[in-house]
Amino acid sequence: MRGLSNKVAVIAGGGNGIGAVTALRLAGEGVSVVVGDLDRDGAQAVAERIESKGGRALAVQFDMTDDASVGALVKAAVDTYGGLDFMHANAADFSNIALDTDALNVPLEVFDRTLAVNLRGYLLCTRHALPELLKRRGAIVYTTSAAAYIGEPERVSYGVSKSGINALMRHVASRWGKEGIRANAIAPGLVVTEKMRGTLPEEFKAYALSMARSPRLGEPDDIAAMVAFLFSDDSAWINGQVISVDGGATLR
């Protein structure tokens, strides 16, 4: 894709799954990648894979909920590679997803933790990345979800956090778009990662496939390709959008 070679990207949540594949895709396009993750070993493994293929990568352990930690992640990119062109805010906490019920019953600590990672953390990524992105007229891509707009009877914390991400993205595009910043969000469908491949029940996969307008379920490469596109010069006139990459499971 045009305009990716010799650029610098931070993947906030790049140690596994979609984030890891996105880091590999961007590196393959010539981007120097800072792989940030709470899982130090996961981030390091991704960075080593990139370097083994001739790319440039740095692994950084960070905490999406900690202001100083997010700041250190962005600083590592600037100190190592001289600046920042792209931020992909992708981290999420699914550890309490089974307890994320409805507005009457969800434990407040589950609600607070979900928003701390999935929404406040995205604000922190934005605040620390923007000053550097403005220097290079860069781009931010946020990972959101259809849960932000389809209306679910459960996962209230998750849905609220993703709705907030969409609002944050539109705010950034509206406030700094005239200064050259592009902000967009990707809403993935069911993406079968390597970790999920052997554990996801077949009946659930069949149900998800029945809801889509595609002959297959999603792969991390599908999301990585859209991230790369939204960072590239080929998407220069796309700003402030939530883009569903879900095999047609949702139609808007």
Q: For residue 118, what pLDDT is reported?
A: 97
Does pTM top 0.85 for this prediction? yes
State the architecture of 8-243 in CATH terms.
3-Layer(aba) Sandwich (3.40)
Phi-psi region of 244 (alpha: psi -120 to 50; beta: other; left: phi over 0): beta
The mean pLDDT value for 121-148 works out to 98
The mean pLDDT value for 147-158 works out to 96
Q: For residue 199, what pLDDT is reported?
A: 87
* Catalytic entry in 122, 142, 158, 207: 158
Q: For residue 197, what pLDDT is reported?
A: 87
Find out whether 233 and 30 touch, Cβ atoms under 8 Å.
no
Chain-centre distance for alpha carbon 62? 15
Closest CA to 243 of 191, 171, 176, 169: 169
pLDDT digits (tens, 9 = 90+) for 166-224: 999 999 999 999 999 999 999 999 999 988 888 889 999 999 999 999 999 999 999 99
Q: For residue 175, what pLDDT is reported?
A: 98
User: Tokens 């997010």 label which residue?
Assistant: 70
Q: How far apart are CA 242 and CA 103, in angstroms?
A: 25
Q: For residue 158, what pLDDT is reported?
A: 97
Amino acid found at 47: A
The mean pLDDT value for 120-140 works out to 98
Q: How far apart are CA 86 and CA 14, in angstroms?
A: 14
CA 1-29-72 angle, to 5 degrees, is 120
pLDDT band at 115 (very low <50, low <70, confident <90, very high): very high
Q: For residue 195, what pLDDT is reported?
A: 84
Question: Percentage of the chain surpassing pLDDT 70?
Answer: 100
Active site residue 158: yes
Q: For residue 69, what pLDDT is reported?
A: 98
pLDDT digits (tens, 9 = 90+) for 25-75: 999 999 999 999 999 999 999 999 999 999 999 999 999 999 999 999 999
CA atoms 29, 32, 37, 43: torsion sign = positive
Q: Which helix (H) or strand (E) holds 227?
A: helix 220-231
Supply the mean pLDDT for the chain.
Answer: 97
